[in-house]
Structure 1
Amino acid sequence: MSDTPAPAGRLEIVSDAICPWCWIGKTHLDRALAILAEEGMTFELGWLPYQLNPDMPAGGVERASYRAQKFGSVERGAELDAQVAEAGRAAGLMFRHDLMARTPNTVEAHRLIRLSHPTGLQHALVERLFRAYFQEGEDIGDPAVLVRLGTETGLPEPVLSAFAAGEAARQEVMAESLGLARAGINGVPSFLMDRHLLFSGAMPGERMAEAFRQAVAILRSQAA
């Protein structure tokens, strides 16, 4: 028999691959998970799709002009990038907005993330996609780029082939992202435990850990 304790619950993160606060939030999440693992508390993890820009063209758009249109000016977009970069530095991350040429449609990234779940590499893949977009300036809307990043993460060939064929998990991603939005999720990252919404936002790891402890205690009490 294994001495590994059963997971304390299913922890799911609603996220978009181009959300900078989601990368910061994942970094804080990893800190929270490490804290709780030392206490013997682990979770089954999953990443759920959300589209910040559901009307984005399939090929994406040039980032600078898109953000100028979205936020009113190039200067305002740069101010927001600077705020993100500062928060990223505090979390130990480096954002390279100077390398980010395009804002992609993220459906393809979400497809690969969903297909990766059975491999146990989903969490690692999400990190690789964040780093590729925010630090390396990769176009993570390009299926060929995504196949390369999936290969680097160690995804098995059948998963990559299913993704490259073009349709696997597409309808599931579209339906789930729409369903989450309709359920009231309007900000990412959002954290769910056993499908109960706990909080949204990239709070520090210690605070996340405490929120997860409290959620586990409440759900266990309700189940008793």
Structure 2
Amino acid sequence: MQTIQVEVHYDFICPWCWIGQRNLAAALAESGANAAVSIRYVPFELNPAMPVEGMDRRSYRTRKFGSWARSQGLDAQVTAAGLAAGAQFNYDKVLRTPNTRLAHRLMQFAQARNQPRQAAALYQAIYAAYFSEGRDIGSLDTLVDIAAEHAFDAGETRTYLRSASGARQIEAARDEADRRGIHSVPTIAIAGEVISGAQPPAVFAHALRAATQRSAA
């Protein structure tokens, strides 16, 4: 059986991307396709013009949605959806909206090590650090700490993030997404079948089973 290629187009600032990740993980377990799947995390910056230091979240969201009350209403919807998916959102702890470029570069660093389970654990951990714990995932020190918590060498990680490595690939990924007509995240491609949005686990499981059948044939 050939390996099923899965591409996850994401941004760490997107709560639905975390929910989508949890639903995909549930689908992998349900379908039994885990061992035959190779997942690649593809960066998609939603706020490429965000200042490097990020912004006060309340100010940013008020400007984006017209009022803080509107933002809180959207946060409540996400929190409810997250509970069903096993993702805990503690928006009272989230004080800043970060620039996610460094976090994307950290994922590139992780994936280059060819340790998929370690990379997958780090991917989940970055979301949890931001949405559950309120940590600043735009901070180099924070990202190095998260990486070290998941068995990456802190010194090597810091050196990589202080360099320019990975930046060009992030920009190239966005250009490729535009070429393929991917304009929002999460977008998950399972053996070429493109699924937009944080769909329920059943949707991902169906696509995984179909891909498994095609691969076996």
> Normalising by structure 1, what TM-score?
0.88
- The DSSP-based 3-state class of the residue aligned with 1:203 is coil
Q: What is the aligned partner in structure 1 of residue 202 from structure 2?
A: 206
8 A Cα contact 2:16 2:198, kept in partner: yes
Counterpart AA for 2:23: H
How far has the Cα of 1:174 moved from its partner?
1.9
Q: For residue 18 of structure 1, give the secondary structure of its aligned residue in structure 2.
A: coil
For structure 1, list consecutive stretches of 5 or more residues without a partner in the other structure: 1-5
Q: What is the SS of the residue equivalent to 1:123?
A: helix
Scaled by the length of structure 2, the TM-score of the pair is: 0.90
CA drift at 1:80: 0.5
Q: In 2 relative to 1, CA 162–36 (structure 1 residues): closer, same or farther, beyond 3 Å?
A: farther
1:54-69 aligned at under 5 Å gives the runs 54-69=48-63
What SS is found at the alignment partner of 1:48?
strand
Q: How many residues align?
A: 214
Shift of 1:93: 2.3
Aligned partners of 2:102 and 2:161 also within 8 Å: no
Aligned counterpart, 2:13: 18
- Equivalences for 1:143-162 in 2 at 5 Å? 143-156=140-153, 159-162=156-159
- Distance in 2 (CA, whole Å) between partners of 1:7 and 1:53 is 36
SS, match of residue 127 in structure 1: helix
Deviations 1:36-76, CA, capped at 9 Å, x for gaps: 22x67620111000111121111111111101111111111
Q: Give the deviation of 1:161 after TM superposition.
A: 4.1
**Cα distance in 2 for residues equivalent to 1:159 and 1:48:** 22
**Which of 31, 36, 59 pairs up with 1:42?**
36
Task: Give RMSD over aligned pairs.
Answer: 2.0
Match of 2:105 in 1: 111
Q: 3-state SS of the aligned residue for 2:40?
A: strand
State whether residues 27 and 202 of structure 2, in contact with CA within 8 Å, keep that contact through their aligned partners in structure 1: yes
Identical-pair percentage: 37
The residue identity in structure 1 corresponding to 2:74 is L
Q: 1:190 to 1:116 in 2, by over 3 A?
A: same
Partner in structure 2 of residue 130 of structure 1 = 127
Matches within 5 A, 1:47-196: 47-117=41-111, 118-120=114-116, 121-156=118-153, 159-194=156-191, 196=192
Measure the CA separation in 2 of the matches of 1:197 and 1:181.
17
2-side partners of 1:20 and 1:40: how far apart?
A: 24
Contact map agreement 1:96 1:134 (CA 8 A) in 2:
yes
Residue 154 to residue 90, structure 1, CA distance change in 2 (3 Å): same
Change (3 A) 1:159 1:206: farther
2:11/2:46 contact within 8 Å kept: yes
**CA–CA distance in structure 2, aligned partners of residues 132 and 157 of structure 1:** 17
The residue that corresponds to 1:3 in the other structure is none
Partner of 2:26: 31
Q: Deviations over 1:73-129 (max 9, x none)?
A: 111111100110111112222201111111111110000001101233211111000
Q: How far apart, in 2, do the equivalents of 1:217 and 1:162 lie?
A: 44
Tell me the CA shift for residue 165 of structure 1: 2.7
Shift of 1:7: 5.0
> CA, structure 1 residues 181+103, in 2 after alignment: closer, same or farther (shift >3 Å)?
farther
CA distance in structure 2 between the partners assigned to 1:138 and 1:41 by the alignment: 32
